[in-house]
Chains A and B, each alone.
Chain A
Amino acid sequence: MIFCILLCTLFFAVYSIRNMNNNLRIQVDTRTVIITLKDNLSLLLNAETGERGYTITSDTSYLQPYYEALEELPANSALLSKMLQGNVEEEKELDSLFLYVNAKMDFIKKVILLKNDVNDKGIKDLLNTGQGKHLMDKVRQSNQRLRATEEEHFAERKKITDKSIITARIVFIVAAIFSLLITLFLASVIINELNRRTRHEKALRDYTRELQRKNEEIEQFAFIASHDLQQPLRSISNFTGLLNEKLQDTAGDETKQYMSFITGGAHRMSALINDLLEYSRAGKDVQRLKIDCNQLVAEVLEELSAVLKETQATVNVSVLPSLYGYASLKSVFRNLIGNAVKYTKKNEPPVVSITFKDLGKEYLFSIKDNGIGIEAKYKERIFIIFQRLHTRNEYTGTGIGLSICKKVVELHGGKITLESEPGKGSEFNFTIPKT
């Protein structure tokens, strides 16, 4: 929009200058007419003076101006006609002027001829008619009228020209001021924006640094948790085990039960710590690599072969794509397939199918089972770390599998969802965006 205003101002400035130039030219033209008219009159006057001089002195050198006039009046008249062309009123007056000018020249010629013939009486008679003076007066009047008209025009034009000069000046000054203001405005906008960006960049840098620091802190903590907490746990496990052996024969049932609770507790804590560590480490890989999902799943099935055999599970895998992702994608498949063969219906061997759909911008993987299913109200909760829907005695596990799946899938920029009906099995769907 600012650009349009600037453009308009420019056009206006150019226009007013052209206008001013036009007006100046017309002014000049008017001036020229006036000068030519003056020339016309002075030529004639000089001719008359020459005629008088000759008449008095009989010296032909006085006739010089007359001959000059004879020579130059035609051109002068032609010029006047040309310049006043198109101006009806003035053309009429001009015709009248030429009439009288020609008549006067004829009169002078007559006087000269009479003088040539030494006809002094004839000259006296001619001059006494007063025709010479009369004609001259007429010429003067006509000339004067024409000049007056031109002076009027000139005055008018001058007014207009002066106005247009002032206008042009004003327009230029305004345009210049405007341009300056706009430049200052734009400059300040740019500077502000740059400042804003610099501030944002700095904030971003600071934030990133802080984030990195926090990450390091967390990793350190995770390591300590895994390592240093394990040792005391190990002592508890190991030596209650030995204690168990020692008390095997002598301890009562209650004692034995208490022992088993202690050992069980230590084992569970160890499993929790390991799982926590696995969760914190999940997806930590820095680079995306090319992953052949078929190979990935094949490896997982190989690792789970004992469990699959035990549960007599059937796993149907369709041909899966290759994609760019993190190595931790393997744990997603491992946990989902593992769950599928774990949470089975009694007396019904698990049947698991692994498929995918290409949705253009992302891949949608589905792992479907015929297990016990999950109630709708728990759909969100199961993805929370350590949240379980069963007791330890019903199904093993710490409740970390699905939270790892969620973490890794979201690390890839995808989403994981669940379709399920209790008693009818579950279908876990997750997307992995293509990069």
Chain B
Amino acid sequence: MIIKKKLSCILLVDDDYEDNIFHKLVISRMQIAESIEEVNDGLEALDYLKKRQTPPELIFLDINMPRMNGWEFLEEYKDLDADQKAKTIIMMLSTSSNPDEIKKAQEIAEVSGFKTKPLSKEMLVEILEQFFREHL
């Protein structure tokens, strides 16, 4: 994939070991990001975001995770400082395409979209075209 400017960081928030390996592989093959990070649940994600200087530009958020799931994470995410959140696209990434969940995601302002696993090259292209035009 030809990309003018790579994204600085893509964060994967998912507890599944194999899904993370696969998604990392797909993204790194496309060479669209400087770094790809992963955390295993909502709590770790919050920690990570609070510690980081510049927030990741794209977050893929799983729903079902232990300790703090996707929805609970979003509740806490709202209260983060503006500069920790700015310009971050959150994509919900779920196993099932339950219409109730899709509807719920649409109602949260911070969420930019809802995708079904597994992440694919086509999905990434779509996301870049929609949200990261200036990088192309």
Residues of B within 8 A of A227 (CB): 64, 95-96
Q: How far is the CA of A227 from the CA of B117 in the complex (A)?
A: 11
The total of chain B residues at the interface (CB under 8 A) is 12
Asked whether A230 lies within 8 Å of B96 as measured between CB atoms, the reply is yes
Residues of B within 8 A of A226 (CB): 95-96, 98
Residues of B within 8 A of A239 (CB): 18, 22
Q: A235-B18, A237-B118, A238-B118 are in contact. Are A230 and B95 (CB under 8 A)?
A: yes
Could you tell me which residues of chain B, from 84 to 120, have a CB within 8 Å of some CB in chain A?
A: 95-98, 117-118
Residues of A within 8 A of B117 (CB): 230, 234
The total of chain A residues at the interface (CB under 8 A) is 12
Asked whether A238 lies within 8 Å of B22 as measured between CB atoms, the reply is yes
B25 within 8 A of A: yes
Q: Mark A270-291, 1 if CB is under 8 A from B, else 0.
A: 0000100100000000000000
Asked whether A234 lies within 8 Å of B64 as measured between CB atoms, the reply is no
B19 within 8 A of A: yes
Rounded to whole Å, the gap between the CB of A360 and the closest CB of chain B is 35
A4 within 8 A of B: no
Rounded to whole Å, the gap between the CB of A222 and the closest CB of chain B is 10
Q: How far is the CA of A51 from the CA of B25 in the complex (A)?
A: 160
A242 within 8 A of B: yes
Q: How far is the CA of A231 from the CA of B20 in the complex (A)?
A: 12
Asked whether A277 lies within 8 Å of B95 as measured between CB atoms, the reply is no
Could you tell me which residues of chain A, from 210 to 241, have a CB within 8 Å of some CB in chain B?
A: 226-227, 230-231, 234-235, 237-239
Q: How far is the CA of A175 from the CA of B96 in the complex (A)?
A: 78
- A interface SS class: helix
Could you tell me which residues of chain B, from 27 to 80, have a CB within 8 Å of some CB in chain A?
A: 64
B16 within 8 A of A: yes
Could you tell me which residues of chain A, from 238 to 277, have a CB within 8 Å of some CB in chain B?
A: 238-239, 242, 274, 277
Rounded to whole Å, the gap between the CB of B16 and the closest CB of chain A is 6
Asked whether A238 lies within 8 Å of B96 as measured between CB atoms, the reply is no
Rounded to whole Å, the gap between the CB of A151 and the closest CB of chain B is 106
Residues of A within 8 A of B95 (CB): 226-227, 230-231, 234
Rounded to whole Å, the gap between the CB of B45 and the closest CB of chain A is 20
Rounded to whole Å, the gap between the CB of B23 and the closest CB of chain A is 9
Rounded to whole Å, the gap between the CB of A230 and the closest CB of chain B is 5
Asked whether A277 lies within 8 Å of B18 as measured between CB atoms, the reply is no
Residues of B within 8 A of A234 (CB): 18-19, 95, 117-118
Closest to B119 in A: A238
Rounded to whole Å, the gap between the CB of A244 and the closest CB of chain B is 14
Rounded to whole Å, the gap between the CB of B28 and the closest CB of chain A is 13
Asked whether A277 lies within 8 Å of B96 as measured between CB atoms, the reply is yes
Rounded to whole Å, the gap between the CB of A220 and the closest CB of chain B is 14
Asked whether A238 lies within 8 Å of B64 as measured between CB atoms, the reply is no
Residues of B within 8 A of A274 (CB): 96-97
Closest to A225 in B: B96
Q: Mark B3-28, 1 if CB is under 8 A from A, else 0.
A: 00000000000001011001001000
On A, residues with C-beta under 8 Å from B are: 226-227, 230-231, 234-235, 237-239, 242, 274, 277
Q: Which 7 A-B pairs have the closest CB atoms?
A: A238-B22, A235-B18, A230-B95, A226-B96, A227-B95, A238-B118, A227-B96
- In the complex, 20 of the A-B residue pairs with CB atoms within 8 angstroms, ordered by the A residue number, are A226-B95, A226-B96, A227-B64, A230-B95, A230-B96, A230-B117, A231-B95, A234-B18, A234-B19, A234-B117, A234-B118, A235-B18, A235-B22, A237-B118, A238-B18, A239-B22, A242-B25, A274-B96, A274-B97, A277-B96
Given contacts A226-B96, A242-B25, 13 further A-B contacts (CB under 8 A): A226-B95, A227-B95, A227-B96, A230-B96, A230-B117, A231-B19, A231-B95, A237-B118, A238-B18, A238-B22, A238-B118, A239-B22, A274-B96
